[in-house]
A = this chain, B = another copy of it.
Amino acid sequence: MAGKTDIAPDVSINACAYRRVLEIISSKWIVLVMHVLEDGCKWYGEIARRIEGVSQKMLTQTLRQLERDGLVSRRGHPTIPPAVDYALTPLGESLMEVVRGFRDWTRVYYPQVERAREEYDRRMEAGAL
């Protein structure tokens, strides 16, 4: 304990902005749901149908998180059967702009990533012999 030299870790990294964004966007479905809501308010069922492979559990969970973070707004209609719709809030829209930056990067550079992967895998395979 006392003998340990106090080379402090870059604490800022622990508390820094990156960790916080990651909490939000690192979930697999968050970005996809936001993308569906990009062009306006949607019913729950429509969101579900538009995102292939999402389970009801994950969709609801994702929408809850987005609502809690103030990124989407939820409106329930007291009809029978009940209907609910979701929309991006202004805060959500502002985040969406940044997310678009990621999408654009991917469109331009993803082929390079794929090539790098193939090359790496070939090198590894060769090295494993």
Which residues on B sit within 8 Å (CB–CB) of A49? 7, 9-10
Number of copies: 2
In the complex, residue of chain B having the shortest beta-carbon distance to the beta carbon of A64: B120
Once the chains bind, are A91 and B103 in contact (CB under 8 Å)? no
Which residues on B sit within 8 Å (CB–CB) of A91? 109, 112-113, 116
Interface flag for A98 (CB, 8 Å): yes
Once the chains bind, are A25 and B26 in contact (CB under 8 Å)? yes
Chain A interface mostly: helix
Give the interface size class of chain A: 35 or more
In the complex, residue of chain B having the shortest beta-carbon distance to the beta carbon of A108: B94
Interface of A toward B, CB cutoff 8 Å: 7, 9-11, 13-14, 16-22, 24-28, 31-32, 35-36, 49-53, 67-71, 91, 94-95, 98-99, 101-107, 109-110, 112-113, 115-117, 119-121
